[in-house]
Structure 1
Amino acid sequence: MRNVKSNSIWIGIIHMGLGTVLAQMINIVAQPILTRIFPAETLGIYTYIISLATMIIPVASLKLDMLIVSESDDKEAQYITDACIIINVFISLIYALVIAVGYQITDNNIFNKYGIIIYIVPILVFTNGLRFLFISYLNRYKEYKTISIIAIIREAIRAIIQVGSGFLSLGVFSLSMGYAISPLFGLNIQMKNYIKKLKERPRITAQKFKEVVLIKGKRQILYLVPAQFINSFSSSLVTISITALFSAKVLGYYSAGARILDIPIVFITSNVSKVCYQRISENVSNSKPVLKTLMSVIVVLSMISVLGFGILYFIAPRLSEIVFGKGYRIAGEYIRCLCVMYAVRLVATSFAGVYTVFKKQNFELILNILLIVSAGLSYIVCRMLETEVTTYLKLMNMGYTVVYLLMLLGYIVVCKNYDKKVRSVDK
């Protein structure tokens, strides 16, 4: 009985959750300070820079990092990790080249809108790409406590750099450097087991690298990379669109509101998704049913989401002014426009990776294409009608909500179909 309890999916979620709560408490404390020492426009430009990085960070390893968790052979998992590190370096360099070319081609495009600060973006991609890669590595070995400790270290370092730079009036560059440097703290802890195993085995060869990328990672690259990139781009498109339709100042207020909306996503979704992915992968490897696990988490998350975002809707304007300072009440109005979408998103994105387990990455690709279509249509309508920012956000809310509901339904269907096959084999 003791072993069953220690192996419970909720134990992993709780370990991850507690660490994330502490880490994000640091971030929560830092944000009101940042909104008081930096103008909304500066925070808007910082958000813009980060959004260009976050388009690429999730695919910096071409999604092969997910295979580290699901790979049954430990030695193969080490080679996949090798390949991911190499790919992360190449992707960062390629993005640097794209930015350099884009910076020179035309005036006032997405790469040169705010000057040479854009060249920090590939550094953000590289350091944060390594961070996510080794989170997957630790997840393989259920090192949830270590993941949590490193998250606390990372957020503390970032807060110190960003708040300190604010008092020294160092601007957008120092804000961005806080985001770039902080993932390096604790990286030696994340890599400890990997380096130990690296010393005990042969290095990855060109042939093995090719095998990992073209055979093991084929479906990841063909389906999940485009799906993830489109998903990330659809999120960044909101930031880019607000800047294009309105101003960096409006983006600053929106980014403040988005930080409040993102708190439950960071606290809950990111941790639940890692644990659920590991547990469902393990069950599939052992030919065990998965739908019960999925549905139990959906029910709990749905109750939390409806209650949390329901309360937030009513208190958002006043809360934003209290948290961020005078003038930020408008951020609360932006929050209200997006509450429904975030409530559904919290549940749906808590099962990221489920399609990979069942080799249904093409489903995720289709759904993420729908996200970007929704974002594009919202932009076009608001550009043509010259609407207010709240109208744009409400259109985004409707379109994204529908897509996230379809995503959640898809998870249930694939798990149900898998369970049917397991039961038929048992009979």
Structure 2
Amino acid sequence: MINALKKDGLGKNIAIMGLGTLLAQGINVLIQPLLSRIFPASDLGIYTFVISVANILIPIASLKLDLLIVSEKDDMRAQYITDICVLACFFVAFGLFFFLIVCKIFFPNVVLLQYGSLIYFAPILVLTNGLRFLFISYNNRYKEYKLISKLEALRELVRAAIQTASGFLIFGAQGLLAGYAVAPVLGYRLQMKRYFQGLKNRPRITFSQIKGLLIRGRKQIMFIMPAQLINSFSSSLVTMMIGALFSASALGYYSMGVRVLDVPIMFISSNVSKVCFQRICESVSESQPISKTIAKLVLILSAVSIATFGVVFLAAVPLCELIFGQGYGIAGSYIRCLCLMYAMRLVATSFSGSFTAFGKQKYELFLNVALVLAAFIVYGLSIACSWPMESFLKAIGFGYSIMYACMLAGVLCCCFKFDRQLKSL
């Protein structure tokens, strides 16, 4: 199976992306024990809460039109789609800022504002990180995987430096958020080099072209964007629910646990998803079969996921005490509640965006609506039954695991159906 992936170049591209993410996440992992010792758990909780709000909009800052940059056949049209995505990032960030101002005036006691003015970091995070991911899609179109990998590692290094300095200077949650906001800006010039070269040698986009491309990408806006928004909301919703049900310190312990669980996701699925999406789009465009390659990759990822999160489950409590310091065994117990969900998530999210290639965006929307409904059901049960934190997390993990399994099954069905259609031609 691995040899098959090597032959078609998929394994090589995944390895290149994986190396960059290994460096980036290596820096992230190494800095966490220091941050847990120089920041109180409550500051880490506030930091996680604000990031969770921003993370609702960061993935859809480009209205999910950035996926079309990768799949678009015509280079000029891809350039114009990128223009629209840049404008969308600014629009979405400003929209969040305006929304927060309205909440401050009319709903001052809303949960979003429970940590005061720090929430206004969220629009900045949306803008800087939205542009970062937009141009990762642009680089992905041209298979510039080495560039993506180098910049991701360098950005993590800068973020770690800013946050560490902030801790020693006792800047609190503000310093943590500043590092997260500023780091993505590093590397824009390199990421945008090809784009700016194209910008100099082509006519500027017109209003009629914007209108036409928005109509062309209406499925992205109507189905994939809401699906991603709901998916991001479902992930951030857990953090906000913990903030509402439990203390900032509990949220801080949870955040450190999630950082441990996110390492395999960031290292494996985030890179596999970019390469797989590009390959699926290419295969669909060129009418080439794809199901065998994807099925083999699912088996490999499943084996890796089970082994990885099995070890994490067994070692979580003593490992957290050792890495993060005394008292962080609590984070380890939270990790154990979520291992099943993250094992399913690693495999399923490795094929993120794949429904776009098959024109089945509505399926992704339905599945993500189900994720949000599952979270609200668990939230209601938690209030009614006065569940402790561990019970809340176990219920969330079980509900989300079912949804991720359905998501993966849907992608596989699309691949096999596409191959059957090719054979019938």
**Alignment TM-score, normalising by the size of structure 2:** 0.98
Asked if 1 retains the 8 angstrom alpha-carbon contact of 2:273 and 2:352, the reply is yes
Match for residue 230 of structure 1? 230
State the distance in 2 between where 1:306 and 1:106 align: 45
Q: Which runs of 4+ in 1 moved over 2 A?
A: 4-7
1:405-424 map, 5 Å: 405-424=405-424
Match for residue 273 of structure 2? 273
**Matched AA of 1:411:** V
Match for residue 69 of structure 1? 70
Match for residue 187 of structure 2? 186
**Matched AA of 1:256:** M
State the distance in 1 between where 2:325 and 2:101 align: 38
Asked if 1 retains the 8 angstrom alpha-carbon contact of 2:20 and 2:150, the reply is yes
Task: Look up the SS of the partner of 1:55 in the other structure.
Answer: helix
- CA distance change for structure 1 residues 6 and 83 in 2, over 3 Å: closer, same or farther? farther
Unaligned ranges ≥5, structure 1: none
Match for residue 297 of structure 1? 297
Percent of paired sites with the same residue? 52
Task: Look up the SS of the partner of 1:148 in the other structure.
Answer: helix
- CA distance change for structure 1 residues 236 and 95 in 2, over 3 Å: closer, same or farther? same
Cα displacement string for residues 69-110 of structure 1 (whole angstroms, at most 9, x for unaligned residues): 000001100000001001111111111100111122223212
Task: Look up the SS of the partner of 2:112 in the other structure.
Answer: coil
Cα displacement string for residues 388-407 of structure 1 (whole angstroms, at most 9, x for unaligned residues): 00000010011000000000
Task: Look up the SS of the partner of 1:56 in the other structure.
Answer: helix
CA RMSD, Structure 1 to Structure 2 (Å): 1.0
State the distance in 2 between where 1:241 and 1:181 align: 27
Match for residue 395 of structure 1? 395
Match for residue 315 of structure 1? 315
Match for residue 351 of structure 1? 351
Match for residue 283 of structure 1? 283
**Matched AA of 1:263:** V
Asked if 2 retains the 8 angstrom alpha-carbon contact of 1:103 and 1:111, the reply is no
Displacement of 1:7 in angstroms is 5.1
State the distance in 2 between where 1:335 and 1:166 align: 25
Displacement of 1:159 in angstroms is 0.3
Match for residue 198 of structure 2? 197
Match for residue 155 of structure 1? 156
Asked if 1 retains the 8 angstrom alpha-carbon contact of 2:289 and 2:422, the reply is yes
Displacement of 1:5 in angstroms is 5.7
**Matched AA of 1:203:** R
Displacement of 1:6 in angstroms is 7.6
Cα displacement string for residues 257-286 of structure 1 (whole angstroms, at most 9, x for unaligned residues): 000000000000100000000001001110
Asked if 2 retains the 8 angstrom alpha-carbon contact of 1:47 and 1:252, the reply is yes
Displacement of 1:26 in angstroms is 0.7
Q: Does 1:116 align with 2:151?
A: no
Match for residue 142 of structure 2? 141
- Larger mean CA deviation between 128-137 and 204-213 belongs to 204-213
Cα displacement string for residues 177-205 of structure 1 (whole angstroms, at most 9, x for unaligned residues): 10110000011000000000110000111
Asked if 2 retains the 8 angstrom alpha-carbon contact of 1:277 and 1:354, the reply is yes
State the distance in 2 between where 1:302 and 1:20 align: 20
State the distance in 2 between where 1:164 and 1:142 align: 35
Match for residue 245 of structure 1? 245
Match for residue 54 of structure 1? 55
State the distance in 2 between where 1:246 and 1:104 align: 26
State the distance in 2 between where 1:383 and 1:267 align: 35
**Matched AA of 2:92:** I
Match for residue 324 of structure 1? 324
Match for residue 31 of structure 2? 30
State the distance in 1 between where 2:10 and 2:35 align: 37
State the distance in 1 between where 2:390 and 2:416 align: 39
Asked if 1 retains the 8 angstrom alpha-carbon contact of 2:111 and 2:244, the reply is no
State the distance in 1 between where 2:112 and 2:342 align: 29
Asked if 1 retains the 8 angstrom alpha-carbon contact of 2:50 and 2:119, the reply is yes
State the distance in 2 between where 1:210 and 1:393 align: 44
Aligned length: 421
State the distance in 1 between where 2:339 and 2:121 align: 32
**Matched AA of 2:253:** Y
Task: Look up the SS of the partner of 1:111 in the other structure.
Answer: helix
Cα displacement string for residues 350-403 of structure 1 (whole angstroms, at most 9, x for unaligned residues): 001110000101000000001001100110000111110000001001100000
1:168-179 map, 5 Å: 168-179=169-180
Q: Does 1:382 align with 2:382?
A: yes
- CA distance change for structure 1 residues 197 and 98 in 2, over 3 Å: closer, same or farther? same
Displacement of 1:217 in angstroms is 1.2
Match for residue 14 of structure 1? 15
State the distance in 2 between where 1:107 and 1:137 align: 40
Displacement of 1:165 in angstroms is 0.3
- CA distance change for structure 1 residues 226 and 362 in 2, over 3 Å: closer, same or farther? same
Match for residue 340 of structure 1? 340
**Matched AA of 2:365:** L
**Alignment TM-score, normalising by the size of structure 1:** 0.97
